[in-house]
């Protein structure tokens, strides 16, 4: 069992990762591609949500975003870190993307669902509130296995189902923007877990022997640390925090059913509300055994930590996912928080979370799929010291976890590029590369952190103190010149406008005027 009382916070560990450890940087379709209505692409729930006024910071949309649909070839070069109707143009785009990744010796790890459900499925069936999504998602996954599976060997069914369920159907901050408090998130999660399991079985039965790939799911979770490690009630509250976050999805997939503590708490509160059944749906015994074991590897997204303490929420006063947990979340004001208001840098929480996964789910193979830190929109400093510090410390805690025996096989930094940060629009930047969204060409500029991350990758870790300390210095040296280029960008943008709009317009006018003048001249002569 996980030992809650052991909280060792050791100093920096110099050493390297096991040979063959994988390194990467992540992106997602809606957040980077743009081209929202091009080449026959259907409309997704995020297209519709972002077009509604007042849903996204500054009413930003992902309509053009980083223009990744057009610029992916360039992005692959910079990433060289060491239904019924099938849209063939879309298939061609992903074909080329995958081929180009492979040509550049980058292994594609493909996420089938990163939140952009076709809007038609939302309108017709209620999206993830409806069990019919299980079959639709399975058809889609099957098509992807058929078309891309000869080249893609790592498949992730869902990215961060916690956010899909809670932010999409409980708080309504994400698409489809529904506030079905205390029921919607549980129902969505139930169907997502079933859909995941079905897709894993489809791969297992129809494709695995030919394609020899792996299918996993990517779960995101914060770490929850008891406020008082000697207080049993705080320890139990912290464990509930994790079980309602990670365990909600991981326990059915690894152990066959929802965490007991979720069944107990939601069941009791539903009873107190006078409901005949728990708001947490129930898996039949057949479903439990079908779902159990449907994970070849666990993708793990992790960004931050909370202190947790017991807090009772009497039933009947606005029941929700949040009040079902009977806990309060706290943060230490000393923790650095450079960007998103929910994101505090607490590296030691990462090692604790990884060890929790090891003890709870039988030490599965883990790929860290998302980990990173943002800065606010107005920050245009490419010398991102705080991000270098974040990556250095979080990656180091992951290394310590590997030394503890956790089976981590790879790490993906979030994110390759600044991009559309969901309800925060473009106001929070997570990228290793800065994207100038003011310029229609969306130029990319390397931040110091990408140089730093490249050094971690090429050394496969942190060889010794002297070398690691020199990395920051060297990375900052290169970012000052990029800062100058970025500062000149409005000027370049202005010059581009002059060459692309003003000059052609003036030339056209000149030609027209000359033609009119010539006509007058000829008329006079005749």
Ligand X SMILES: CCCCCCCCCCCCC/C=C/[C@@H](O)[C@@H](N)CO[C@@H]1O[C@H](CO)[C@H](O)[C@H](O)[C@H]1O
Catalytic residues: 370
Compare residues 234 and 329 and give the one whose CB is closer to ligand X. 329
Q: Residues in contact with ligand X, total (CB under 6 A)?
A: 17
Q: Taking CB under 6 A as the rule, does residue 371 contact ligand X?
A: no
Q: Does 414 bind ligand X (CB under 6 A)?
A: yes
DSSP secondary structure, 313-369, as one string: --TTSS--HHHHT-EEEE--TTS---SSTT----THHHHHHHHHHHHHTTS--EEEE
Q: In the window 38-97, what residues touch ligand X (CB under 6 A)?
A: none
Which listed residue (430, 434, 452, 453) binds ligand X by CB under 6 A?
430
Q: Is 342 in the site for ligand X (CB under 6 A)?
A: yes
Q: At 249, list the tokens.
A: 């999805």
CB of 72 to ligand X, least distance (A): 17
HEC assignment per residue over 85-110 = CCCHHHHHHHHHHHHHHHHCCCCCEE
CA torsion sign, 49 to 50 to 56 to 59? negative
| CA–CA dist 314, 303 (Å, integer) | 31
Q: Please pick, from the candidates 47, 296, 324, 421, the single residue that binds ligand X as defined by CB under 6 A.
A: 421
Q: Which is nearer to ligand X, 27 or 211 (CB)?
A: 27
Residue nearest to ligand X (CB): 322
Please give the residues from 218 up to 237 whose contact with ligand X meets the rule CB under 6 A.
Answer: 220
Closest C-alpha to 219, from 155, 301, 322: 301
| Stretch near ligand X under the rule CB under 6 A, chosen from 148-156, 158-166, 248-256, 283-291 | 158-166
Which residue, 116 or 483, is less far from ligand X as judged by CB?
Answer: 116
Q: Does 157 bind ligand X (CB under 6 A)?
A: no
Q: Does 159 bind ligand X (CB under 6 A)?
A: yes
**Residue with smaller CB distance to ligand X, 160 or 243:** 160
CB of 22 to ligand X, least distance (A): 19
Interface stretch with ligand X, choices 43-51, 157-165, 181-189, 289-297 (CB under 6 A): 157-165
Smallest distance from ligand X to CB 514, Å: 54
- Of the candidate residues 326, 370, 384, 397, the single one contacting ligand X (CB under 6 A): 370
- Smallest distance, ligand X to C-beta of residue 220, A: 5
The nearer residue to ligand X, 191 or 429, going by C-beta atoms, is: 429
Cβ neighbors of 493 (< 8 A, separation 6 or more) are 438, 439, 440
Binding to ligand X (CB under 6 A) within 10-29 occurs at 28
Cα separation of 274 and 286, whole Å?
A: 29
CA distance 452 to 510: 53
Instruction: Specify which residues 99 forms β-bridges with.
Output: none
Are 355 and 401 in contact by the 8 Å Cβ rule? The answer is yes
Q: What is the edge-to-edge ordering of all strands in the sheet holding 366-370?
A: 22-26, 408-414, 366-370, 298-301, 214-220, 154-159, 109-113
The CA radius of gyration of the chain, in Å to the nearest whole number, is 25
Secondary element (H or E) of residue 372: none
Binding status of residue 422 toward ligand X by CB under 6 A: yes
| Segment lying near ligand X (by CB under 6 A), choices 121-129, 228-236, 259-267, 414-422 | 414-422
Site for ligand X contains 319 (CB under 6 A):
no
| Bridge partners for 158 per DSSP | 113
Binding piece for ligand X, criterion CB under 6 A, among 43-51, 118-126, 159-167, 345-353: 159-167
| Beta-strand pair 305-310/375-376 | unpaired
The distance of closest approach from Cβ of residue 470 to ligand X in the complex, given in angstroms and rounded to an integer, is 30
Burial class of residue 166 (count of CB atoms within 10 Å of its CB; 0-12, 13-18, 19+): buried
Say if residues 68 and 37 touch (Cβ distance below 8 Å).
no
Confirm or reject binding of residue 171 to ligand X (CB under 6 A).
yes
Would you say 375 or 421 has its CB closer to ligand X? 421
CB of 281 to ligand X, least distance (A): 22
Q: Is 155 in the site for ligand X (CB under 6 A)?
A: no
CB closer to ligand X, 129 vs 305? 305
Q: Number of C-alpha atoms within 13 angstroms, CB side, residue 14?
A: 7
* DSSP 8-class letter at 118: B
Contact between 322 and ligand X per CB under 6 A: yes
With left for phi above 0 and alpha for psi between -120 and 50, is residue 223 left, alpha or beta?
beta
Q: Does residue 345 touch ligand X according to CB under 6 A?
A: no
Per CB under 6 A, contacts with ligand X among 181-220 are: 220
- Give the interface with ligand X as residue ranges (CB under 6 A): 28, 31, 159-160, 163, 171, 220, 301, 303, 322-323, 342, 370, 414, 421-422, 430
């Amino acid at each position: 069992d996980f030992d809650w009382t052991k909280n060792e916070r050791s100093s920096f560990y110099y050493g390297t990762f096991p040979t063959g450890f994988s390194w990467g940087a992540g992106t997602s379709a809606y957040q980077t591609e743009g081209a929202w209505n091009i080449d026959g692409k259907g409309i997704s729930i995020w297209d519709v949500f972002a077009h509604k006024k007042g849903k996204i910071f500054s009413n930003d949309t992902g309509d053009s975003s980083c223009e990744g649909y057009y610029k992916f070839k360039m992005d692959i070069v910079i990433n060289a870190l060491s239904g019924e109707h099938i849209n063939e143009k879309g298939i061609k785009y992903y074909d080329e993307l995958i081929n180009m990744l492979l040509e550049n010796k980058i292994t594609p790890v493909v996420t089938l669902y990163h939140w952009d459900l076709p809007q038609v499925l939302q309108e017709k069936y209620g999206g993830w509130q409806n069990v019919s999504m299980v079959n639709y998602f399975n058809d889609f996954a099957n098509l992807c296995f058929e078309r891309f599976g000869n080249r893609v060997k790592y498949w992730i069914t869902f990215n961060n189902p916690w956010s899909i369920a809670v932010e999409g159907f409980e708080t309504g901050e994400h698409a489809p923007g529904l506030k079905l408090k205390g029921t919607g998130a549980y129902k969505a999660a139930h169907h997502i877990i079933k859909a995941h399991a079905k897709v894993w079985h489809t791969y297992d039965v129809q494709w695995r022997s030919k394609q020899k790939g792996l299918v996993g799911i990517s779960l995101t979770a914060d770490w929850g640390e008891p406020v008082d490690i000697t207080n049993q009630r705080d320890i139990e509250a912290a464990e509930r925090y994790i079980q309602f976050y990670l365990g909600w999805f991981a326990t059915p997939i690894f152990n066959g059913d929802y965490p007991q503590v979720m069944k107990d708490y939601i069941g009791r509160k539903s009873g107190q509300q006078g409901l005949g059944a728990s708001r947490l749906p129930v898996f039949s015994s057949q479903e439990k055994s079908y779902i159990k074991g449907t994970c070849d590897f666990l993708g793990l997204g992790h960004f931050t930590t909370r202190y947790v303490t017991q807090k009772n929420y009497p039933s009947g006063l606005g029941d929700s996912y949040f009040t079902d947990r009977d806990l309060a979340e706290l943060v230490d004001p000393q923790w650095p928080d450079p960007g998103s208001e929910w994101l505090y840098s607490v590296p030691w929480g990462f090692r604790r979370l990884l060890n929790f996964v090891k003890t709870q789910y039988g030490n599965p193979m883990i790929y860290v799929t998302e980990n990173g830190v943002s800065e606010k929109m107005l920050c245009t400093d490419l010398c991102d010291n705080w991000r270098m510090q974040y990556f250095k410390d979080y990656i180091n805690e992951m290394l310590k976890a590997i030394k503890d025996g956790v089976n981590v096989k790879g790490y993906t930094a979030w994110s390759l590029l600044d991009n559309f940060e969901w309800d925060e629009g473009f106001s929070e930047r997570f990228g290793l590369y800065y994207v100038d969204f003011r310029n229609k060409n969306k130029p990319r500029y390397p931040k110091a952190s990408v140089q730093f991350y490249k050094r971690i990758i090429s050394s496969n870790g942190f060889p010794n103190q002297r070398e690691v300390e020199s990395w920051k210095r060297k990375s900052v040296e290169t970012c000052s010149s990029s800062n100058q280029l970025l500062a000149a960008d409005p000027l370049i943008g202005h010059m581009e406008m002059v060459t692309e709009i003003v000059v052609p317009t003036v030339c056209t006018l000149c030609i027209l005027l000359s033609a009119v003048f010539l006509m007058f001249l000829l008329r006079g002569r005749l």
